[in-house]
Amino acid sequence: MICHFPVLSSTVRVNSKITAVFWLLLSLMALAGCQKKPATAIGLDLSDILGGQNTHGFERALKEREFHFPQDHAAHETFRNEWWYLTGNVSDGEDRVFGYQVTFFRTAIVPVLALQTQITERQSNWAVNDIWMAHAAVTDINGQVHYHKQRFSRANPGLAGAKTNPIKIWLEDWTLGSVSNDFPWQLQVKTKDFDLALELKPTKGHVLQGDQGLSQKSAVPGNASYYYSYTRMATKGIIRLNGNTIDVNGSSWFDREWSTSALDKNQSGWNWFSLQLDSGEDLMYYQLLDLKGRADINSQGKWVDDIGNSLAIKPTDIKLNILEEWQSQDGKRYPTRWQIDYAAQNKSWVVEAVMDDQYMDLAVKYWEGAVAIFDAESQKLVGRGYLEMTRSR
């Protein structure tokens, strides 16, 4: 087997400002090219990727901005990190229900301005300016199986990226895009265990998260992201599992964020909920955690009614209680059953993982999976959604 190692352009001088994250990402990319199954024992820590260190030369999310579409679906190369995040619940119309997740991540190695000043001759088409990572997962709820895969690539030459005219976000042949700059979008993912071929179209307009799209993650200025969502997207297409093709319909949620730093040194991760109720209403809430696992005061969310009007959720508006936990093989504990009380809407739900082990045991390790939503009093199923839980080492 031939191993393909990333190379740096000879015209870009790499200095001490390049963090250890860069070299670890390169090592993981090399492992992915040299092994049938990448070694997942090596893990990237969230505090290295999303922390406030090594931000010099990158743009920061410091104040409100105007959002422009479709331009903001494309990459924001002056920021260090960004991602395009799809989760959804679909069914075959009878008794089979599936959860799915597809995420594209971009991490800049060198600030764009530094590249512009360092390049003295034509830059190689193979220069490593950005590292891309993509995750895909399918939860077969009836079969109680959680499939998950990852990919890594440099951006150049055309191996990964995000652009408009037409819209396209891709890492090799995993793609999300359109034939134009409008909806519907087409999602295409192929792996050894599963394929996804889905069409997605919003049934509501976009929602600006945080304060008009500025989502503050800590008290430190710049520890924030620009963040918008399509909280409900009509979804149809096919899922292939182990050679079997299944026609599906359902609903998806799209999250879009870009930033240079988010987590403060006193924060350890988050619990993030995206809930779609059968009433047509949606709820997003992320509970940030301190180093002792307690809720951080910068936690926040949005309530979206059935026609797309949104209302901010503060930590004092909502109460989260853990009912059950699951422990991963590496010893981390993840709550898989919650009670959520939202007084502003006089709502109380039990949010329960459709299976406990939906652990993304990849280079970046986290729990992400499909959940069912039950009315806390009647115990009737009233919706479905997704839950993501991250923990720093």
CA angle (164, 168, 169) in 5-degree steps: 120
Closest C-alpha among 388, 315, 377, 318 to residue 353:
388
What pLDDT is stored for residue 255 in this prediction? 98
Distance between CA atoms of residues 105 and 83, nearest Å = 4
What pLDDT is stored for residue 79 in this prediction? 95
Residue 124: band (very low, low, confident or very high) from pLDDT cuts 50, 70, 90? low
pTM attached to this predicted model: 0.89
* Share of residues in the chain with pLDDT > 70 (%): 82
* β-bridge partners, 122: none
Question: Residue 331: is it exposed, middle or buried by C-beta count within 10 angstroms (0-12/13-18/19+)?
Answer: exposed
Output the six-digit token pair for 37.
């199954």
pLDDT over 80 (residue 42): no
- In this structure, are residues 51 and 261 in contact, taking their beta carbons and an 8 Å threshold? yes
Distance between CA atoms of residues 350 and 379, nearest Å = 8
- The hierarchical CATH code for the domain 20-391 is 2.40.370.10
Residues in the chain: 393
Closest C-alpha among 357, 331, 362, 358 to residue 37:
362
